[in-house]
A and B are shown apart, each in its own frame.
Chain A
Amino acid sequence: MIAVSAEEIRCLVAVGASLAGVRAVEAARKAGFEGRVTLIGAEPHPPYDRPPLSKEFLRPDHAPEPVVLHGRAELVEDFEAEVLLGAPATGLDLDARTVRAGDADVPYDALVIATGAAARELPGTGHLSGVHVLRDLDDAKAIRLALDDGARTVVIGAGFIGSEVASAARRRGLDATVVEARPTPLVRAIGPDLGSALAGLHERNGATLICGRPVTGLEGTGAVERVHLADGTMVEADLVVVGVGAVPCTDWLAGSGLELDDGVVCDEFLQTSAPGVYAAGDVARWNNPQFDRMMRVEHWSNAAEQGVRAARNAISPTTAAEPYTTVPYFWSDWYGSRIQFVGLAARDQHEVVSGDLAGDHFVALYRECDKLTGALTLNGRRHIMKYRRLIAQGATFEEALAFSRTVAARPRSRGPQ
């Protein structure tokens, strides 16, 4: 492979105008990159932040305004970026070094792929209105309208986004049912015991949780009216939100020659199998040195940090490239409670070090062999980041347990109210 020197990189292209792509553009300019910068986005909207779409955006007491990351004018004037919105990328030519977007071929010397992930849809439901996934602003607007109309809400999939929608429905006093095909929710994310503990929040807040019964079909004439379950049960619904995971948006890269495997495969520098091509955010599967394994992470902080790192590495591959290492972190808000998770969930190897799983506060630590690998908190905002640091430092599980006793012993810290 011929090394590309920084001087030869004259144009940086970021594909995907959400958090990772926007952070890539910002980072390139902040690092002093003076070449041409192009940001390509599939949606017509200026880049906006996604986590609020299933949280504040759906609350009846909040204005349904998106949190805009940067307006078009700001991107053009402050970051001197060329901005192509409403122009989904449809192809990548690694030999010509061009990205096909809309009807243009955009040339690049350095490329950051940040096309994210798409919500998985329920097959055979496209003909019914009132059935939505929640991924983009238009989805959130439609769901909010239905909630404002008093929709009886059924959420398919007891994951984090679906649970946030159920919370929004209950906040309005609406009937909300969460249907999960597996016997226990959130098993893959946080393990069965803690998945069950969080699922208890649904029942305590008046939502119905049905587990172990897959959806067999949706019924309605024009609009959805009923959800059918495998045991013959029917649930009445005016709004159905499908929250059954997301798939990385790599269709446009098929046949490009780029190595794909549930995402765009990257090394620890976020570089793909092609020179000059990097990936960031939900679409990137990279080797995370922190845990020495390939990972693809669909979390806000990961997208933000990878966008920055990928751009810096892309514009200075020989002089300033650094690996991207991280302890994954996500948060979710259910029924006024804050759930936070850091690290990796080693299944069934956890210990509760504060509160209890039946209550509204707990801190649980995960181990793998003698290492601390993860922490989950429910309303434990003082605790969570301290464990993220311990994981980053490679702390043992024993060290984490000892630390948990010092945190518990310390008086409560209080910020200004």
Chain B
Amino acid sequence: MMKIVVDRARCTGIGICEAIAPTVFEVDDDGGLVLLSQLVPHGVAAEVAEAVEGCPTLALRLEP
């Protein structure tokens, strides 16, 4: 199962990922990204992949 990795130095909490996969990503009040799941949950792999590719600051990646 793929693991989601956030580059905290790059992430500015723009929230595109939350818009695409709200069950996995949530931006907090300070703009920090909360991973509601560290691993890519079954059923939302396509959304998570889209969120990773759609990140404006290239702050997300998937690792085995």
Contact (A338, B22) CB under 8 Å given A413-B29, A415-B30, A417-B32? no
Interface residues of B in 8-28 (CB under 8 A from A): 8, 12-16, 18-19, 22, 26-28
Contact of A381 with B56 in the complex, beta carbons under 8 Å: no
How many residue pairs at the A-B interface have CB separations less than 8 Å? 64
User: Which of A94-102, A174-182, A250-258, A383-391 binds B?
Assistant: A383-391
| Residue of A49, A301, A305, A382 touching B27 (CB-CB under 8 A) | A382
C-alpha gap A51/B57 in the complex (Å): 10
Q: Is B31 a contact of A381 with CB atoms below 8 Å?
A: yes
Min Cβ gap B5→A in Å is 12
Q: Is the CB of A382 within 8 A of B22?
A: no
Q: Is the CB of A381 within 8 A of B19?
A: no
> Residues of B within 8 Å of A, CB-based: how many?
22
Interface set, chain A 139-193, CB cutoff 8 A to B? none
Q: What are the residues of chain B within 8 A of A232 when measuring CB–CB?
A: none
User: Number of A residues contacting the other chain (C-beta, 8 Å)?
Assistant: 26
Once the chains are docked, how many angstroms separate the CA of A412 from the CA of B16?
A: 20
A382 to B36 CA separation, bound complex (whole angstroms): 14
Q: What residues of B have a CB within 8 angstroms of the CB of A204 in the complex?
A: none
B41 within 8 A of partner (CB):
no
Q: Tell yes or no: A329 within 8 A of B by CB.
A: yes
**Cα separation A380 to B18 with both chains bound (whole Å):** 14
Q: Which chain B residue shows the least CB distance to A30?
A: B53
- Verify if A331 is at the interface (C-beta below 8 Å from B): yes
Q: Give chain B residues whose Cβ lies under 8 Å from the Cβ of A49.
A: 56
Q: Does A304 contact B (CB under 8 A)?
A: yes
A83 CB to nearest chain B CB (Å): 20
Which 4 interchain pairs have the tightest Cβ spacing?
A415-B32, A385-B18, A415-B34, A413-B28
On B, residues with C-beta under 8 Å from A are 8, 12-16, 18-19, 22, 26-34, 54, 56-58
